[in-house]
Chain A
Amino acid sequence: MTQPTQTPITAPRDVAAVKMTDIKKSYGGVHALKGVSLTIRPGTIHALIGENGAGKSTLLKILQGVVIPTEGSIEVFGEHLTAVSPENSRRLGIGMIFQDLSLIPTLTIAQNIFLNREPRRMSLLVDERREVEDAAKIIGELNLNVDPRTRVLELSPGQAQLTEIAKAISQKARVLILDEPTSALSAQEVDILFKMLRKLTADGTAIVYVSHRMTEIMTIADEITILRDGQNVTSGNIADFTLDTIVQNMVGKRVTGFEYKPHEIDRGTQPALKVRSLSGKHGKPNDVSFDLYRGEVLGIAGLMGAGRTELARVLFGVDAKADGTVELDGKVLEFRSPAEAIEAGIVLVPESRHDQGLVIEHTVGHNLSLPQLAQLASGPFLDRRRERDLSAELISRLRIKTPDADNKVRNLSGGNQQKIVIAKWLATDPSVVILDEPTAGVDIGSKAEIVELIRSIASGGKSVIVISSEPAELLATSDRILVLSNGRLAREISRSEIDAWATTEGDESQSSMIRVELGLQVAIQKASQNVH
């Protein structure tokens, strides 16, 4: 594959890097885009915001050449795009970083970066040495200090994401599209990425930045376009927007779901869950102890690699524990499989709903009834009617948006898929509900619903643990926050501390919500430095 031909980036700055005008796209009777326009100027970072279903992905897929618009025109650096195709988009210098990574897990970092454009020796054989050298340079600039000969499946999610970013950047695109590029990155890695993006824009590259993380958007973006229901809502300079106005424009109504709602927790009686010196077999978790009370939501924060998910896995019986005790309602628990944990009353909404939480090809009904098959049986057979009743009840209780229970789960949006994972557990009447990244990749409306759901689970008398890397999520739900670092419990943060950040952190020009979030980020960073 040849390198994309490029007009020199010294093209006049008033020529838009990308100008999409009045783009319409329909799938049968469904109008995904109803006449959307997007103008991106070279040397800027342009945030593209919208809920899931707003049309962002479709618009970007059109820009990439993967989807053909029903109507509308596209210009890249002044050149009119006659036929929409991946080749044309690549030729015009459009590069993309995918939310679900486009890497081949069994190939190495270097092989992935240079996939389809490997340096050659004698124009026939792959020059492996140069491939590794060049790859090392590229990933070095992102502070990814891993041997480029490592296979991607051996990398941590953060490292894999950095590799994906490296791959896109090395293609020297003139227009770089980033879709949720920081979901697996630590705060430091995000910093490095942002420095890299600033360097690229100084060279004239235009960057389209899609993310659900508002604080990041406000930090890095220069301009913003907001979509809703396949149409433009507004565009402009980011300086003219606040977090509240962005969210309002996205959703079209005031969203209050993110305020923490204080409530009484009875910490006088026995804790529902007592964890003492819990250690896993591979170093994480490491000697972790905590109490969890009925009706309480305990947040667990930490950087990538802190051992949060590992803690969940030990508590849920996926991984064996090496040491320590877990007591639920006074009874010491020993379990060696999720089935036993579930029986004891501990359930897990796992990190990846796609890979771990759902059988994506099966129906909503099948997924909802999976943990309850024995209870739904009468004799040797499944009682289909009881199953249907259960599905109907859960769908209505959690307001899951699906035409019926026979719809395949993969047809649902991320937020609704997540609701299904949560719903299937609620039916088992658990004692402890652990949620790992409950609103990752979920649109803001569903995020609010899930946050409210978490609160109602706790107020219903259950104990809840929320593991998250999104400060907003933790702050909205948690009554207390534990910070893990390197497998150990680094610190506990109380609600009164959190409230204090609203005045002590950041500066006055920022909203109190951003200041509190900053406070949490700083606290996590500091706690992670001291523990080794």
Chain B
Amino acid sequence: MATSSKPWYGNWRDYVVYIGFVAIFIVFAILLHDRGFLSPNNLLNVLRQTAIIAIMAMAMSFVLSAGEIDLSVGAIAGLTSVVAGMVLMQYGLVFGIVAGLCLGLVVGAFNGALTAYLNIPSFLVTLGMMGIARGVGMWVSGTSPVPVIDDTFTYAFGSGNIGPIPVLVIWVVVLGTVAHLAIRKTPFGRKVMAAGGNPVAALYSGVNVRRVKFQVLMITGVAAAIAGMLYAGRLQSGRFQLGEGDELSVIAAVVLGGTSLFGGRGTVVGSIVGALLIGIINNGLILGGLEYSQQLIARGMLIILAVAIGRGR
């Protein structure tokens, strides 16, 4: 039976995050004009602050689309900031970066192996890893910050600018483009969607579902490691506490952006905009003079509202 054809612009609910972003931006621009919301300095700061969440969010899009979840990203970021910082101090720039990336790969592979090949739910595996990574970070650093003073590192990984554009923004744009192309235009991206949409049908169609789940958890592992190094570069020190609580912001950004928590449907661009949306909400609430407690409440309500509106997809 044929259905009525849809208008070319599709379902408005798919664009909730974009509409919301524009709407809230305009609201804050009007209400907080005199508090400096629109000043270039403020906006660049928002970009810098949300960049790190955005990078983890683009990777998380893959994991959620595949029907899994990764709660350990924040902890991996903290651990990587410490480990990369320490290796950097002892063995120099190149080894520091390599160590950081390898750590992300190894932890991601561990998460992936337990989930994909031992059939332990990713929620539990990554929840456990969250504790392990945080604990190892604390232990290895002796709970004190690891100074990061290599100028090249801090320039490239967080604090630098190329002209007026913060390096962090360039990271987001480059990684975002790769992630977007991967999820939308490669066979891998399709396999991820199929594995999350119906793992049995995907398997019966020849997709190696286990390998896909293994790979997406490695992707978030590496992304979290990059996030950790960016934190270290920005703050010029590695601390085990970095990234604490980020996993929730990341997942909120991804879900706001249109990726389904149940798998089968996902977007990288939406996740990045979702992260930006949360970022300007945070910024607006601070400029608006709300106390931290009020910020928490307002942020929670806005997230519920956004997801409720977008629910009909």
Q: Is the CB of A376 within 8 A of B204?
A: no
Please tell me if B198 contacts chain A, counting CB pairs below 8 Å: yes
Q: Is the CB of A382 within 8 A of B202?
A: no
Interface size in chain A (residues, C-beta < 8 A)? 42
- Pull 11 A–B residue pairs with CB atoms less than 8 Å apart, ordered by A: A53-B1, A318-B203, A339-B208, A342-B206, A355-B198, A355-B201, A356-B201, A359-B197, A366-B190, A377-B187, A381-B181
Contact A318 to B204, CB < 8 A, known contacts A362-B193, A381-B186 = yes
B175-201 near A? 1/0 per residue, CB < 8 Å: 000000100011100110110011011
Please tell me if A402 contacts chain B, counting CB pairs below 8 Å: yes
Tell me the minimal C-beta distance from A371 to chain B in angstroms. 5
Q: Is the CB of B187 within 8 A of A337?
A: no
Please tell me if B264 contacts chain A, counting CB pairs below 8 Å: yes
Using CB atoms, name the residue of chain A closest to B265.
A361
Using CB atoms, name the residue of chain A closest to B200.
A356
Using CB atoms, name the residue of chain A closest to B182.
A380
Alpha-carbon distance between A370 and B208 when the two chains are bound, in angstroms: 12
Q: Is the CB of A370 within 8 A of B265?
A: no
Please tell me if B41 contacts chain A, counting CB pairs below 8 Å: no
Tell me the minimal C-beta distance from B106 to chain A in angstroms. 25
Measured between beta carbons, the chain B residues less than 8 angstroms from A467 are none
A24-53 near B? 1/0 per residue, CB < 8 Å: 000011100000000000000000000011
Please tell me if A348 contacts chain B, counting CB pairs below 8 Å: yes
Tell me the minimal C-beta distance from A376 to chain B in angstroms. 7
Q: Is the CB of A29 within 8 A of B4?
A: yes
Q: Is the CB of B187 within 8 A of A376?
A: yes
Tell me the residues in window 149-191 of chain B with beta carbons closer than 8 Å to chain A beta carbons.
Answer: 181, 185-187, 190-191
Please tell me if B205 contacts chain A, counting CB pairs below 8 Å: yes
Measured between beta carbons, the chain B residues less than 8 angstroms from A348 are 204
Measured between beta carbons, the chain B residues less than 8 angstroms from A366 are 190, 193-194
Q: Which of A361, A371, A407 contacts B3 (CB 8 A)?
A: A407
Q: Is the CB of B264 within 8 A of A362?
A: yes
Measured between beta carbons, the chain B residues less than 8 angstroms from A361 are 197, 264-265
Alpha-carbon distance between A348 and B5 when the two chains are bound, in angstroms: 32
Q: Is the CB of B186 within 8 A of A380?
A: yes
Q: How many A-B residue pairs have CB under 8 A?
A: 87
Measured between beta carbons, the chain B residues less than 8 angstroms from A166 are none
Contact A362 to B208, CB < 8 A, known contacts A369-B190, A374-B187 = no
Using CB atoms, name the residue of chain A closest to B203.
A338
**Residues of B participating in the A interface, judged by any CB pair closer than 8 Å:** 1-5, 181, 185-187, 190-191, 193-194, 197-198, 200-208, 264-265
Q: Is the CB of A382 within 8 A of B191?
A: no
Tell me the residues in window 331-347 of chain A with beta carbons closer than 8 Å to chain B beta carbons.
Answer: 337-339, 342-343
Measured between beta carbons, the chain A residues less than 8 angstroms from B264 are 359, 361-362
Tell me the minimal C-beta distance from A207 to chain B in angstroms. 27
A315-332 near B? 1/0 per residue, CB < 8 Å: 010100000000000000
Measured between beta carbons, the chain A residues less than 8 angstroms from B190 are 366, 369-370, 373, 382
Q: Is the CB of A382 within 8 A of B4?
A: no
Using CB atoms, name the residue of chain B closest to A360.
B198
Using CB atoms, name the residue of chain B closest to A380.
B186
A390-423 near B? 1/0 per residue, CB < 8 Å: 0000000000011100010001110000000000
Please tell me if A424 contacts chain B, counting CB pairs below 8 Å: yes
Measured between beta carbons, the chain A residues less than 8 angstroms from B197 are 359-362
Q: Which of A28, A342, A412 contacts B4 (CB 8 A)?
A: A28
Q: Is the CB of B201 within 8 A of A30?
A: no
Please tell me if A357 contacts chain B, counting CB pairs below 8 Å: yes
Tell me the minimal C-beta distance from A411 to chain B in angstroms. 5
Q: Is the CB of A371 within 8 A of B206?
A: yes
Measured between beta carbons, the chain B residues less than 8 angstroms from A413 are 1
